[in-house]
Structure 1
């Protein structure tokens, strides 16, 4: 991992590269077990070795706004009178999100949702925004609950979401706490953000290098990220860094481990995961 700090000795600030070597200084820094050494200039920490860098490493390419022209698909949506108490508005960026939502709504908007656990698109606002039901964000929900029964309910509902999406050939690609919404009483989990674009999928086979067609994302990549969602539920947040080790309660750890097996073909199916969750003794 490479980090760039705005302060430092050079005009470009300070560049620090940290190599993930578990059980060493660099691995412990990434896992927030040790502090970054106070050292001027550019440097790297590789295992227990600290070396100077003779130049600042290149910054990653800036990804600009890649929004698509969605005017044609937006024209097909009904115009709604927005009620701020009931509706949430979102600026449309990709045709894929609207198309995926329509697939899950029997091809119509508002239509009939194929799953009560997938966000439903109601229509568009007069300002050209997508109109959804107003729900509770995960940040205002997850930290309030810490019981195994509620985790089981949420996980089973998340699996229902994926089963529905995958039946329509949709790979979510961005399963994480920020894309989980909840009813006011937290009894219903709702999955949102159906763009199916470049998300934060952490499955080892997934990559953005090959474009959408060659990215390596599959239904089993979503299964991998179910494990991350379970961690998000147990800890009430997204991790500050992916290197932090976050064990979950023992009944759930086996499910997380199964979801995050290295090889996609070794991960359980949705039906197998559902059985594993139902077999947890509360």
Structure 2
């Protein structure tokens, strides 16, 4: 403490001349904490400010985020002030936003009629007879494609003796053999536990596509899957593994290639052109989880 007092006491010569002492650096043992900031007063009431609502002609030129902010401010003001005029102004703004959205929807209908390529109705009819015709067409495209690759791929279902769901899924997988002509195989992980580690299977039933004479494989169902979904996933997986589609097109259904539901139908959509990728980054090469291309 004596050292601290000596450091803080001004020198007599400096005191007489009126000169100021240089900033004193406190040592470790006489550390002085910094001054505390003034605490924020939490008991102050937020001022009630009435939002300025411009004329509708001016409001029409505002962007939607700016309009939304004004509506929120007017809502908060009306809920605080609780006057008829404030509440009415809030609902006038809501009505303006409703009419603006209605106008946008109307223009959207015209745009869809004038630009059918942007409209899904031409590729996805919802009327009964047309819907049935589309479903039949997709089934035909899917079956012909999968049958053409029957000698190249096989289906494997991994199961366990104690797996009740496996007994439900296996007849569905067998139907795939009956209708498509693929070889299907049942692998019991209780008898062959090494297969689970080898193929990375942890859940049963797991249905996997395996390409013959290749390391390429792909899970198409984990758990119970209905036959139409199983067939569609098999179709997409084969197209991906053979390089007929890119990963961006994996949700493209049978017969939808190049159409409305094809992500790449109008050109590349990624920051870099996906068709300009080098060969070592394509599906099936050694750098991918599907193994080397044979």
Bucket of the pairwise TM-score, normalised by the shorter protein: under 0.3
Higher relative contact order (CA 8 A, sep 6+): 1
Q: Give the structure with the higher percent helix.
A: 2
In our comparison, the structure showing a higher alpha carbon Rg is 2
Give the TM-score taking structure 2 as reference length: 0.25
Q: Give the structure with the higher percent strand.
A: 1
Give the TM-score taking structure 1 as reference length: 0.26
